[in-house]
A and B are shown apart, each in its own frame.
Chain A
Amino acid sequence: MFMKSKKLLKIKILIILILTCSSFKNTAISSSFSEEQTVNITKNLRCLICQGQTIHESNSDFAESMKKYIKSELENGKTNDEVFSSLIEKYGQWIVYDPGISRNTLLLWALPLLLFLIGGVIIVRKILEKYE
């Protein structure tokens, strides 16, 4: 009887240990996921008070605050896009390295294509003039 209850106790301890380990594992996964998300966002953000550095690379006071802000926003359940748009709202489009297409950046995106087309037209006209 005593042996049986001892065996039962061992099984119970084993189950508790397994459950505890799995919960630790889950915590580690969720926090590392958030960390990875933070890094992905900070790599695409310009440090506005540094020269040519991303928020990820910079250790400035501004960058450190920004990293904490992004982390807290992600912890509050915001998506990457929501974090980006809230920062664009606060600091303007200039804060992102890869600006999306908007009314303000339309010219930026369209200009290379326009120049390419204009160049193409000039080349075609020159060729046609040569043959005429």
Chain B
Amino acid sequence: MTDNQIFTDFEVVEFVEEKQINLNKVLTGKNFYLINIWSSWCEPCKDESDKLLQLKNDTSVMMIGINYKDKKKNALNFLKLYGDPFEQIFVDKQGLIAINFGAYGVPETFLINNDNKVLKKYIGPLNDEDVYEIKKITKN
């Protein structure tokens, strides 16, 4: 997905219950959605965890995590260790959801509005400037 592109719907799998659900059913009720693809084995994901936690308190944004090619136990330990910024988490055991998002790997983050339009795509770990930019967009 590139900037300004409208998001096409596809199925995602819930992290805890492992139930399949359409992403469009998840993307409701908020003005913005921040979708972050992460994994416990991804070193840069550890670096960006505090950046995601900074964005957690923004009530206009729903934080969604996509746990990429990971083991559940390791993913849970990661969240315990580095904090859980996500309102909802989905699993991507084979990397197919990441391809559906048009992602290249981990970490990658997409800021989407309530029209399912990709406002920003961040390849690699989020930095302070990115957090500032996201906060600026979601405030308007």
Does B102 lie within 8 Å of A65, measured CB to CB?
Answer: no
Interface residues of A in 7-53 (CB under 8 A from B): 48-49
Determine the chain A residues whose CB is within 8 A of the CB of B69 once the complex forms: 61
Question: Is A69 among interface residues, defined by CB-CB distance under 8 A?
Answer: yes
> What CA separation (Å) do A66 and B100 show in the bound complex?
10
| B98 and A65 form a contact (CB under 8 A) | yes
A65 to B2, Cβ gap below 8 A?
A: no
In the assembly, what is the distance between CA of A69 and CA of B95, in Å? Answer: 8
The minimal Cβ–Cβ distance linking A22 to chain B, given in whole angstroms, is 32
Interface, chain B (partner A; CB < 8 A): 1-2, 5, 8, 69, 94-96, 98-102, 104-105
27 A-B residue pairs with Cβ-Cβ distance under 8 Å, sorted by A, are: A48-B104, A49-B105, A61-B69, A61-B95, A62-B95, A62-B105, A64-B95, A65-B94, A65-B95, A65-B98, A65-B99, A66-B99, A68-B94, A68-B95, A69-B95, A69-B96, A69-B100, A72-B96, A89-B8, A89-B102, A90-B1, A90-B99, A90-B100, A90-B101, A90-B102, A91-B102, A92-B2
| Bound: A65/B98 CA distance, A | 8
User: Which residues on the A side are within 8 Å of B99 (C-beta)?
Assistant: 65-66, 69, 90
A92 neighbours in B (Cβ, 8 Å): 2
Bound CA–CA A64/B98 (angstroms): 12
**Contacts A62-B105, A65-B96 known; 12 new A-B pairs at CB < 8 A:** A48-B104, A61-B69, A61-B95, A65-B94, A65-B98, A66-B99, A68-B95, A69-B95, A72-B96, A89-B102, A90-B99, A90-B102
Q: With contacts A61-B69, A90-B1, A92-B2 known, is A49 near B96, CB below 8 A?
A: no
